[in-house]
Amino acid sequence: ETGVTQSPTHLIKTRGQQVTLRCSSQSGHNTVSWYQQALGQGPQFIFQYYREEENGRGNFPPRFSGLQFPNYSSELNVNALELDDSALYLCASSSGQRGTDTQYFGPGTRLTVL
């Protein structure tokens, strides 16, 4: 069974650019959640997708957007990058959208904004 995978591993962008991060969910999972983890902090919830629909959003501006595809893989897009967007972006998949459903995390994408 393949776990959650993310690409790319590392990314360097400059302020004002746009970035797309990708996530493949674990086999059998229909829900993908995205988190931002700043250095030395706990992950912060960005949004969740359940069966291709957004199913909740954290306190992030609209320039953070996402998609989920029919195979349940997902993308996170960030427009107009700011220095504070530098962080580890984590994707997690689960078999449902409830709080009781265990979320399994990928290795993350390290984004650096210069």
Q: What does the binding site for other proteins look like in residue numbers (CB under 8 A)?
A: 4, 6, 31, 33, 35, 40-45, 48, 50, 55-56, 58, 90, 92, 97-108
Nearest CB to other proteins, comparing residues 70 and 99:
99
Q: How far is the CB of 71 from other proteins (least distance, A)?
A: 20
Q: 49 with 57: CB under 8 angstroms?
A: no
Q: How far apart are CA 89 and CA 92, in angstroms?
A: 10
Nearest CB to other proteins, comparing residues 3 and 18:
3
Q: How far apart are CA 76 and CA 66, in angstroms?
A: 5
How does DSSP classify residue 85?
G
Q: How far is the CB of 5 from other proteins (least distance, A)?
A: 10
